Structure 1
Amino acid sequence: MHLIPPLTMLDFFRKSEGTWFTERSVHHFDSAADESGESNLIIKVMEKDDPKVQEVCTAQGIDPTKATGGASFSWQANLDTRLPNTDNAAILVDVPDETRRSGKLIRNQGYVESIPVVSRYRFADDGVLTIDTDYDNNQGQERCWFVTDDFRVRVSTVRMMNGVNLMTYCSERRCVSQELLEQMISRNHARR
Protein backbone atom coordinates (compact mmCIF):
# COMPACT_ATOMS: atom_id res chain seq x y z
CA MET A 1 0.00 0.00 0.00
CA HIS A 2 1.36 3.39 -1.02
CA LEU A 3 1.36 6.05 1.70
CA ILE A 4 0.10 9.50 0.75
CA PRO A 5 1.65 11.82 3.35
CA PRO A 6 -0.26 14.88 4.56
CA LEU A 7 1.19 18.15 3.26
CA THR A 8 -1.11 20.59 5.06
CA MET A 9 -1.75 20.89 8.77
CA LEU A 10 -5.48 20.22 8.44
CA ASP A 11 -4.72 17.04 6.45
CA PHE A 12 -2.20 16.11 9.16
CA PHE A 13 -4.85 16.61 11.87
CA ARG A 14 -7.35 14.50 9.93
CA LYS A 15 -4.84 11.71 9.30
CA SER A 16 -3.92 11.80 13.01
CA GLU A 17 -7.46 11.71 14.40
CA GLY A 18 -8.03 8.84 16.84
CA THR A 19 -6.17 7.25 19.72
CA TRP A 20 -2.47 6.44 19.41
CA PHE A 21 -0.39 4.15 21.62
CA THR A 22 2.87 6.02 22.21
CA GLU A 23 6.17 4.47 23.29
CA ARG A 24 8.62 7.19 24.27
CA SER A 25 12.30 7.43 25.17
CA VAL A 26 13.76 10.65 26.58
CA HIS A 27 17.47 11.38 26.89
CA HIS A 28 18.48 14.19 29.28
CA PHE A 29 21.88 15.69 28.43
CA ASP A 30 22.28 17.52 31.72
CA SER A 31 21.92 14.42 33.91
CA ALA A 32 22.32 10.68 33.78
CA ALA A 33 18.55 10.27 34.10
CA ASP A 34 16.93 8.93 30.98
CA GLU A 35 13.33 7.87 30.94
CA SER A 36 10.90 5.90 28.88
CA GLY A 37 7.19 5.32 29.05
CA GLU A 38 3.95 4.41 27.37
CA SER A 39 0.87 6.54 27.00
CA ASN A 40 -2.17 7.13 24.84
CA LEU A 41 -2.45 10.24 22.69
CA ILE A 42 -6.04 11.15 21.80
CA ILE A 43 -6.54 13.50 18.84
CA LYS A 44 -9.85 15.02 17.74
CA VAL A 45 -10.24 17.33 14.74
CA MET A 46 -12.00 20.64 15.33
CA GLU A 47 -13.65 22.66 12.57
CA LYS A 48 -12.71 26.33 12.11
CA ASP A 49 -16.05 27.53 13.52
CA ASP A 50 -15.62 25.54 16.76
CA PRO A 51 -15.84 27.99 19.70
CA LYS A 52 -12.61 26.60 21.19
CA VAL A 53 -10.73 27.33 17.94
CA GLN A 54 -12.10 30.87 17.99
CA GLU A 55 -11.17 31.26 21.67
CA VAL A 56 -7.53 30.18 21.15
CA CYS A 57 -7.14 32.60 18.22
CA THR A 58 -8.66 35.50 20.13
CA ALA A 59 -6.48 34.84 23.20
CA GLN A 60 -3.35 35.00 20.99
CA GLY A 61 -4.48 38.10 19.08
CA ILE A 62 -4.94 36.14 15.82
CA ASP A 63 -7.84 36.87 13.46
CA PRO A 64 -10.04 33.72 13.78
CA THR A 65 -11.07 33.98 10.10
CA LYS A 66 -7.49 33.03 9.14
CA ALA A 67 -7.75 29.67 10.93
CA THR A 68 -8.57 26.58 8.85
CA GLY A 69 -9.41 24.45 11.88
CA GLY A 70 -7.67 22.74 14.72
CA ALA A 71 -7.35 19.68 16.88
CA SER A 72 -7.51 18.81 20.54
CA PHE A 73 -4.64 16.69 21.83
CA SER A 74 -4.87 14.91 25.17
CA TRP A 75 -2.71 12.25 26.70
CA GLN A 76 -3.01 9.77 29.54
CA ALA A 77 -1.38 6.67 30.94
CA ASN A 78 -1.79 3.71 28.58
CA LEU A 79 -4.09 1.59 30.74
CA ASP A 80 -6.01 4.47 32.33
CA THR A 81 -9.72 4.06 31.54
CA ARG A 82 -10.83 7.38 33.04
CA LEU A 83 -11.53 10.45 30.92
CA PRO A 84 -8.29 12.32 30.16
CA ASN A 85 -7.27 14.96 32.69
CA THR A 86 -7.78 18.45 31.23
CA ASP A 87 -4.32 19.41 32.58
CA ASN A 88 -2.90 16.91 30.08
CA ALA A 89 -4.47 18.49 27.01
CA ALA A 90 -3.89 21.20 24.45
CA ILE A 91 -5.77 22.77 21.56
CA LEU A 92 -3.80 23.47 18.39
CA VAL A 93 -5.11 25.79 15.67
CA ASP A 94 -3.82 25.98 12.10
CA VAL A 95 -3.19 29.41 10.57
CA PRO A 96 -1.50 28.54 7.26
CA ASP A 97 0.55 30.67 4.90
CA GLU A 98 -0.60 30.99 1.27
CA THR A 99 1.03 27.70 0.24
CA ARG A 100 -0.76 25.88 3.11
CA ARG A 101 2.43 23.80 3.53
CA SER A 102 3.71 26.15 6.21
CA GLY A 103 2.25 28.56 8.71
CA LYS A 104 1.57 29.20 12.36
CA LEU A 105 0.35 26.67 14.87
CA ILE A 106 -1.45 28.43 17.70
CA ARG A 107 -1.57 26.52 20.99
CA ASN A 108 -3.45 27.30 24.15
CA GLN A 109 -0.70 25.42 26.01
CA GLY A 110 2.81 24.48 24.96
CA TYR A 111 4.45 21.07 25.39
CA VAL A 112 7.66 22.28 27.02
CA GLU A 113 6.24 25.16 29.06
CA SER A 114 2.56 25.28 29.98
CA ILE A 115 1.94 28.68 28.41
CA PRO A 116 0.09 29.74 25.26
CA VAL A 117 2.49 29.73 22.30
CA VAL A 118 2.68 30.38 18.58
CA SER A 119 4.85 27.92 16.66
CA ARG A 120 6.01 27.91 13.04
CA TYR A 121 5.53 24.74 11.00
CA ARG A 122 6.46 23.47 7.56
CA PHE A 123 5.96 20.28 5.57
CA ALA A 124 8.78 18.86 3.45
CA ASP A 125 8.02 17.28 0.07
CA ASP A 126 8.15 13.82 1.68
CA GLY A 127 5.54 14.79 4.31
CA VAL A 128 7.88 15.31 7.27
CA LEU A 129 6.36 17.96 9.52
CA THR A 130 8.75 20.26 11.41
CA ILE A 131 7.44 22.50 14.21
CA ASP A 132 9.68 25.18 15.79
CA THR A 133 8.60 26.82 19.04
CA ASP A 134 10.20 29.59 21.06
CA TYR A 135 9.14 29.58 24.70
CA ASP A 136 10.09 32.06 27.41
CA ASN A 137 13.14 30.03 28.50
CA ASN A 138 13.49 27.26 25.91
CA GLN A 139 13.37 26.46 22.22
CA GLY A 140 11.75 23.29 20.96
CA GLN A 141 11.76 21.54 17.63
CA GLU A 142 9.54 18.58 16.84
CA ARG A 143 9.49 16.50 13.67
CA CYS A 144 6.75 14.01 12.86
CA TRP A 145 6.07 11.74 9.91
CA PHE A 146 3.84 8.83 8.96
CA VAL A 147 5.54 5.54 8.13
CA THR A 148 2.13 3.98 7.32
CA ASP A 149 -1.41 5.28 7.83
CA ASP A 150 -1.41 3.64 11.27
CA PHE A 151 2.20 4.15 12.42
CA ARG A 152 4.06 7.41 12.85
CA VAL A 153 7.27 8.68 14.44
CA ARG A 154 7.97 11.86 16.41
CA VAL A 155 11.37 13.18 17.47
CA SER A 156 12.01 16.37 19.38
CA THR A 157 14.74 18.41 20.98
CA VAL A 158 14.53 21.06 23.67
CA ARG A 159 17.30 23.64 23.80
CA MET A 160 17.93 25.59 26.96
CA MET A 161 19.98 28.78 26.87
CA ASN A 162 23.14 26.72 27.40
CA GLY A 163 22.46 24.17 24.61
CA VAL A 164 20.44 21.02 23.99
CA ASN A 165 18.85 19.78 27.18
CA LEU A 166 16.89 16.73 26.05
CA MET A 167 15.91 14.64 23.06
CA THR A 168 12.78 12.52 22.71
CA TYR A 169 11.90 9.68 20.36
CA CYS A 170 8.31 8.44 20.10
CA SER A 171 6.83 5.67 18.00
CA GLU A 172 3.05 5.78 17.75
CA ARG A 173 0.62 3.10 16.62
CA ARG A 174 -3.04 3.83 15.95
CA CYS A 175 -5.37 2.00 18.33
CA VAL A 176 -8.34 0.13 16.97
CA SER A 177 -11.61 1.77 18.07
CA GLN A 178 -14.12 -0.27 20.06
CA GLU A 179 -16.59 0.03 17.16
CA LEU A 180 -14.09 -1.28 14.61
CA LEU A 181 -13.03 -4.08 16.96
CA GLU A 182 -16.68 -5.17 17.34
CA GLN A 183 -17.11 -5.13 13.53
CA MET A 184 -14.01 -7.30 13.12
CA ILE A 185 -15.28 -9.77 15.73
CA SER A 186 -18.69 -9.86 14.06
CA ARG A 187 -17.14 -10.55 10.62
CA ASN A 188 -15.00 -13.29 12.15
CA HIS A 189 -18.04 -14.96 13.75
CA ALA A 190 -19.91 -14.76 10.40
CA ARG A 191 -17.14 -16.79 8.71
CA ARG A 192 -17.69 -19.83 10.94
Structure 2
Amino acid sequence: MDIVNFFETLSGKWFSQRTVHNLASQSSQAGQSNLLIEFLPATDSDLAQACAPLGHDPSHIACGLRIHQDSQIEGETQKIEGTALMVVMTPTDAGAGTLVQAASSSPALQGNYRVEDDVLTIVTPTDAGQIEERLWFANPNLRMRTSVLKTGDGVQMASFCSEIRMGAAKAAA
Protein backbone atom coordinates (compact mmCIF):
# COMPACT_ATOMS: atom_id res chain seq x y z
CA MET A 1 0.00 0.00 0.00
CA ASP A 2 1.41 3.42 -0.87
CA ILE A 3 1.12 6.50 1.35
CA VAL A 4 -1.79 8.08 -0.55
CA ASN A 5 -3.83 4.85 -0.31
CA PHE A 6 -2.91 4.55 3.37
CA PHE A 7 -4.09 8.13 4.07
CA GLU A 8 -7.33 7.50 2.15
CA THR A 9 -8.07 4.53 4.44
CA LEU A 10 -7.64 6.78 7.51
CA SER A 11 -10.59 8.92 6.47
CA GLY A 12 -13.72 8.62 8.61
CA LYS A 13 -15.14 9.04 12.10
CA TRP A 14 -13.16 7.16 14.74
CA PHE A 15 -13.45 6.42 18.44
CA SER A 16 -10.04 6.12 20.08
CA GLN A 17 -9.19 4.52 23.43
CA ARG A 18 -5.68 5.48 24.57
CA THR A 19 -3.34 4.51 27.40
CA VAL A 20 -0.19 6.55 28.03
CA HIS A 21 2.58 5.24 30.26
CA ASN A 22 5.17 7.65 31.70
CA LEU A 23 8.24 5.51 32.36
CA ALA A 24 10.00 8.10 34.56
CA SER A 25 7.14 8.37 37.06
CA GLN A 26 5.85 4.83 36.48
CA SER A 27 2.34 6.21 36.03
CA SER A 28 -0.34 5.50 33.44
CA GLN A 29 -3.26 7.55 32.21
CA ALA A 30 -6.18 6.60 30.00
CA GLY A 31 -8.15 8.75 27.61
CA GLN A 32 -10.77 8.66 24.91
CA SER A 33 -11.11 10.67 21.71
CA ASN A 34 -13.60 11.19 18.95
CA LEU A 35 -11.76 11.86 15.70
CA LEU A 36 -13.09 13.10 12.39
CA ILE A 37 -10.45 12.56 9.73
CA GLU A 38 -10.85 14.08 6.28
CA PHE A 39 -8.65 13.05 3.35
CA LEU A 40 -7.37 16.08 1.42
CA PRO A 41 -6.08 15.97 -2.18
CA ALA A 42 -2.69 17.45 -3.02
CA THR A 43 -4.39 20.54 -4.47
CA ASP A 44 -6.05 21.59 -1.18
CA SER A 45 -4.90 25.15 -0.39
CA ASP A 46 -4.69 24.49 3.37
CA LEU A 47 -1.94 21.93 2.74
CA ALA A 48 0.20 24.41 0.80
CA GLN A 49 -0.36 27.01 3.52
CA ALA A 50 0.78 24.57 6.23
CA CYS A 51 3.98 23.80 4.31
CA ALA A 52 4.89 27.40 3.49
CA PRO A 53 6.64 28.22 6.82
CA LEU A 54 8.95 25.23 6.28
CA GLY A 55 9.74 26.20 2.67
CA HIS A 56 8.22 23.16 0.94
CA ASP A 57 7.24 23.44 -2.72
CA PRO A 58 3.44 22.89 -2.97
CA SER A 59 3.95 20.92 -6.19
CA HIS A 60 5.61 18.19 -4.07
CA ILE A 61 2.54 17.58 -1.89
CA ALA A 62 1.10 14.07 -2.33
CA CYS A 63 -1.99 14.41 -0.08
CA GLY A 64 -3.01 15.27 3.44
CA LEU A 65 -5.45 14.89 6.30
CA ARG A 66 -7.52 17.30 8.37
CA ILE A 67 -8.02 15.82 11.83
CA HIS A 68 -10.66 17.16 14.22
CA GLN A 69 -10.13 15.88 17.76
CA ASP A 70 -12.42 15.92 20.81
CA SER A 71 -10.66 14.18 23.71
CA GLN A 72 -11.18 13.49 27.40
CA ILE A 73 -8.31 12.38 29.64
CA GLU A 74 -9.12 10.28 32.70
CA GLY A 75 -9.15 12.43 35.84
CA GLU A 76 -9.31 15.72 33.89
CA THR A 77 -12.45 17.86 33.80
CA GLN A 78 -11.62 19.87 30.68
CA LYS A 79 -11.92 18.38 27.21
CA ILE A 80 -9.21 18.83 24.61
CA GLU A 81 -10.49 19.99 21.24
CA GLY A 82 -8.55 20.97 18.18
CA THR A 83 -7.87 20.61 14.50
CA ALA A 84 -4.58 19.66 12.87
CA LEU A 85 -3.28 19.04 9.38
CA MET A 86 -0.93 16.30 8.24
CA VAL A 87 0.74 16.94 4.89
CA VAL A 88 2.49 14.15 3.00
CA MET A 89 5.22 15.21 0.62
CA THR A 90 5.80 13.04 -2.46
CA PRO A 91 7.63 9.86 -1.44
CA THR A 92 10.93 8.62 -2.77
CA ASP A 93 11.04 5.46 -4.87
CA ALA A 94 11.62 3.56 -1.61
CA GLY A 95 8.23 4.74 -0.28
CA ALA A 96 9.61 7.14 2.35
CA GLY A 97 9.24 10.89 2.57
CA THR A 98 8.64 14.02 4.60
CA LEU A 99 5.53 14.62 6.69
CA VAL A 100 4.46 18.06 7.97
CA GLN A 101 2.16 18.29 11.01
CA ALA A 102 0.50 21.64 11.66
CA ALA A 103 -1.92 22.71 14.39
CA SER A 104 -3.14 26.23 15.11
CA SER A 105 -1.90 26.00 18.71
CA SER A 106 1.74 25.15 17.93
CA PRO A 107 4.43 25.61 15.28
CA ALA A 108 4.55 23.14 12.39
CA LEU A 109 6.63 20.01 12.92
CA GLN A 110 8.45 18.13 10.21
CA GLY A 111 9.25 14.46 10.32
CA ASN A 112 9.75 11.47 8.08
CA TYR A 113 7.44 8.62 7.16
CA ARG A 114 7.61 5.25 5.53
CA VAL A 115 5.08 2.55 4.75
CA GLU A 116 6.32 -1.03 5.04
CA ASP A 117 4.14 -4.13 5.15
CA ASP A 118 1.01 -1.94 5.48
CA VAL A 119 2.39 -0.23 8.61
CA LEU A 120 2.90 3.54 8.59
CA THR A 121 5.85 4.72 10.69
CA ILE A 122 6.29 8.44 11.42
CA VAL A 123 9.43 9.77 13.14
CA THR A 124 9.24 13.40 14.30
CA PRO A 125 12.02 15.31 16.07
CA THR A 126 10.79 17.64 18.85
CA ASP A 127 12.39 19.92 21.44
CA ALA A 128 12.07 17.08 23.96
CA GLY A 129 13.57 14.39 21.73
CA GLN A 130 11.96 12.23 19.05
CA ILE A 131 8.47 10.76 18.67
CA GLU A 132 8.11 7.49 16.80
CA GLU A 133 4.55 6.56 15.88
CA ARG A 134 3.24 3.45 14.13
CA LEU A 135 -0.24 2.91 12.65
CA TRP A 136 -1.70 -0.25 11.16
CA PHE A 137 -5.07 -1.85 10.52
CA ALA A 138 -6.23 -5.05 12.21
CA ASN A 139 -9.20 -4.90 9.80
CA PRO A 140 -10.75 -2.03 7.76
CA ASN A 141 -12.62 -0.66 10.79
CA LEU A 142 -10.06 -1.28 13.53
CA ARG A 143 -6.66 0.31 13.63
CA MET A 144 -3.87 0.27 16.16
CA ARG A 145 -1.50 3.11 16.96
CA THR A 146 1.58 3.19 19.17
CA SER A 147 3.90 6.05 19.98
CA VAL A 148 7.13 6.36 21.89
CA LEU A 149 8.86 9.55 23.07
CA LYS A 150 12.61 9.01 23.08
CA THR A 151 15.02 11.48 24.68
CA GLY A 152 18.76 11.40 25.26
CA ASP A 153 17.99 9.48 28.46
CA GLY A 154 16.08 6.77 26.61
CA VAL A 155 12.35 6.10 26.24
CA GLN A 156 10.29 8.45 28.44
CA MET A 157 6.68 7.81 27.38
CA ALA A 158 4.84 5.12 25.48
CA SER A 159 1.23 5.00 24.35
CA PHE A 160 -1.14 2.54 22.75
CA CYS A 161 -4.42 3.38 21.03
CA SER A 162 -7.09 1.11 19.63
CA GLU A 163 -9.36 2.98 17.24
CA ILE A 164 -12.73 1.88 15.91
CA ARG A 165 -14.24 3.36 12.77
CA MET A 166 -17.68 4.74 13.62
CA GLY A 167 -18.56 5.81 10.08
CA ALA A 168 -17.31 7.39 6.90
CA ALA A 169 -16.33 11.04 6.83
CA LYS A 170 -18.89 13.34 5.28
CA ALA A 171 -17.93 14.64 1.87
CA ALA A 172 -16.94 18.29 1.77
CA ALA A 173 -19.70 20.57 0.52
- Structure 1 length as normaliser, TM-score? 0.78
SS of 1:137 mapped into structure 2 = coil
Residues 109 and 117, structure 1, Cα contact 8 Å, conserved in 2: no
Residue 40 of structure 1 and its aligned partner are, at CA, apart by 1.0
Q: How does 1:103-122 map to 2 (within 5 A)?
A: 103-109=97-103, 114-122=106-114
Q: Single out whichever of 52-61 and 101-110 deviates more from structure 2.
A: 101-110
* CA distance in structure 2 between the partners assigned to 1:115 and 1:174 by the alignment: 29
- Paired positions, count: 164
Letter in 2 for 1:146: F
Structure number having the greater helix percentage: 1
Q: How does 1:29-44 map to 2 (within 5 A)?
A: 29-44=23-38
Letter in 1 for 2:109: V
- Structure 2 length as normaliser, TM-score? 0.85
* Structure 2, unaligned runs of 5 or more: 73-78
The C-alpha deviation readout for 1:151-185, integer Å capped at 9, x for no partner, is 00001100123221110000000003599xxxxxx
Q: How does 1:12-27 map to 2 (within 5 A)?
A: 12-27=6-21
* CA distance in structure 2 between the partners assigned to 1:161 and 1:87 by the alignment: 31
* CA distance in structure 1 between the partners assigned to 2:54 and 2:85 by the alignment: 12
Residue 101 of structure 1 and its aligned partner are, at CA, apart by 2.0
Letter in 2 for 1:18: G
* Structure 1, unaligned runs of 5 or more: 1-6, 79-84, 180-192
* CA distance in structure 2 between the partners assigned to 1:94 and 1:127 by the alignment: 16
* CA distance in structure 2 between the partners assigned to 1:139 and 1:69 by the alignment: 24
Letter in 2 for 1:58: A
Question: Cα RMSD (Å) of the superposition?
Answer: 2.4
The structure whose RCO (Cα within 8 Å, separation 6+) is larger is 2
Letter in 2 for 1:108: A
